[in-house]
Amino acid sequence: MCGIWALFGSDECLSVQCLSAMKIAHRGPDAFRFENVNGFTNCCFGFHRLAVVDQLYGMQPIRVKKFPYLWLCYNGEIYNFKQLQKQFGFDYQTLVDGEVILHLYNRGGIEQTASMLDGVFAFILLDTANRKVFLARDTYGVRPLFKVLTDDGFLGVCSEAKGLINLKHSTSLCSKVEPFLPGHYEVLDLKPSGKVASVELVKFHSCKDEPLHVACDTVEALPSAGFDLETVKSNIRILFENAVRKRLMAHRRIGCLLSGGLDSSLVAAVLLKLMKEININYPLQTFAIGMENSPDLLAARKVAAHIGSEHHEVILNTEEGIQAIEEVIFSLETYDITTIRASIGMYLVSKYIRKKTDSVVIFSGEGSDELTQGYIYFHKAPSPEEAAEESERLLKELYLFDVLRADRTTAAHGLELRVPFLDHRFTSYYLSLPAELRIPKNGIEKYLLRLSFEDSNLLPKEILWRPKEAFSDGIASVKKSWFSILQDYIDQQVDDLLLEKAAEKYPFNPPKTKESYYYRQIFEKHYPGRSSWLPHYWMPRWVKATDPSARTLKHYKAAAQE
């Protein structure tokens, strides 16, 4: 986890512009560098470092003697950098995994570079010899990237939008800061003036396509093909274990978020098993947050006891959660209702990890609900085909919702997130399975995933088959969910008249409830006029829902009463 920032063609003094780079200092608490580009006095890079690999030579921008004309600023982890070195005979000069980007680019250009990287990444690559700038972001946008490009060719790039919104320039930047699309790379011409011109924006990978880097994976070919159930279950286990194993790459202590739900529990169980296999000599720390005796705390306690982790519980009190709302919205850069609700618990548990422990690399279960059809509304899908389409839509939009939440809440406290469910190989295989296999069965969502691990003894049966509970709901008690606690507080903060006139004040994505109005007010305070960053609110489909919480759906209510 790092913070990257770069400017090309700045009209203003770079020492003044550099203040904007400090807005993302939380992403890299270990070191900071600001570097001008030789021969281009109005171009520069800023980098905040969280040292996870190669403590000595990990500063950026990365430059190596072999390619003196290449400058690289990247945020992420490239899990197959050693396999790529072996396959292509690369001569690395550092232990930094990202150095492979320079070698791949030199060997085959930007298309091959982006396509061959197995990992999570956002990068800025400058080639001064050919006067090109390249931007790229991983398939699911696990690592964030924002950009602003003015009509006269001034380019700003940053890990978070807050590092761009106050840049000074001769023309207005208002409303032009936008997220860089996941699974894409962009080519820009660099002019002698330092200004740039966009040449092309290319989609290099779709979530359904098997990635090109499979040839450089530790599991080269699956033992058996076909869609008979036993083969599929075996392949799911092999690929998921592989996804966790490759993410063990770290020189800092590894921990794991554990809500007690299926996804985080599977990650924690497989993670601990593999840490033992490679003789990592410290216990796995797992972290749960919730109110006293909340469903998540009780379930997480059970999982931790089963797998034998060093378990930490963070007790959430209502006042602390409410007080965190504004700083959470500032960190997130969104006003989406369910994202904010779920982020408060994750933000506070990340704060605890940073202050009270030495775990820095944090595993989590994001992406599973979208991939394996875990949301309760999937029970209402009209057909397996429509459920499959919805799953793909959710995966494509992860960078706006759950992945955004997971990145910002952990990065705000200088932690690095790892999400094995979003492994390119694992997701492309799961999406290749027949639609009929992937739908909820017998009233249980994620049926295939649960079935695949049923005989593994990794988890207690009651956890493996525990029904879906949204993170923002599971941290509260069954009687009163977190969203209703928030709503009770906000009801006192927002006047009825304000809500009646909400559509006039906020014509784009107008708030429909006091809760959404309250969040929008805070968002507009910090990011005025930037509402287009959120194209639409996250809401369940195929049901007449007015609230994104699972606890408002009939299926949840029926299950809770049984």
Binding site, annotated residues for L-glutamine: 97
Binding residues for ATP, as ranges, are 257, 289, 364-365
**251: amino acid identity, one letter:** H
Q: Which residues contact 484 (CB under 8 A, 6 or more apart)?
A: none
């009651």: which residue's tokens?
462
In 3-state terms the chain splits into helix, strand, coil percentages (rounded to 5) of 45, 20, 40
Query: How far, in Å, CA of 21 to CA of 427, rounded?
Result: 34
Full DSSP string of 310-330: EEEEEE--HHHHHHTHHHHHH
**304: amino acid identity, one letter:** A
- Beta-sheet strand order (sheet of 253-257): 310-315, 285-290, 253-257, 359-363, 416-418
Query: How far, in Å, CA of 451 to CA of 465, rounded?
Result: 9
From 2, 158, 207, 256, active-site residue: 2
The H-or-E segment that residue 190 falls in is: strand 184-190
- Cα separations in angstroms, 392 against 40, 368, 399, 440: 42, 12, 13, 16
CB 304 within 8 A of CB 258: yes
Q: Where are the beta strands (DSSP E) in 9-131?
A: 31-37, 40-49, 70-78, 119-127
Q: Which residues contact 248 (CB under 8 A, 6 or more apart)?
A: 254, 271, 274, 275, 278, 280
Candidates 516, 443, 533; CA nearest to 175 is: 533
Could you give the angle at which helices 325-332 and 402-411 cross, rounded to 10 degrees? 110
Binding residues, as ranges, are 97, 257, 289, 364-365
Q: Which residues contact 426 (CB under 8 A, 6 or more apart)?
A: 239, 240, 242, 243, 420
> 2 catalytic, yes or no?
yes
CB 24 within 8 A of CB 163: yes
Phi, psi of 401 (to 5 degrees): -130, -100
Phi, psi of 308 (to 5 degrees): 85, 40
β-pairing verdict for 285-290 and 310-315 = parallel
Candidates 16, 44, 5, 395; CA nearest to 177 is: 5
Q: What angle do CA 222, 398, 400 make, to 5 degrees?
A: 160
Residues catalogued as catalytic: 2
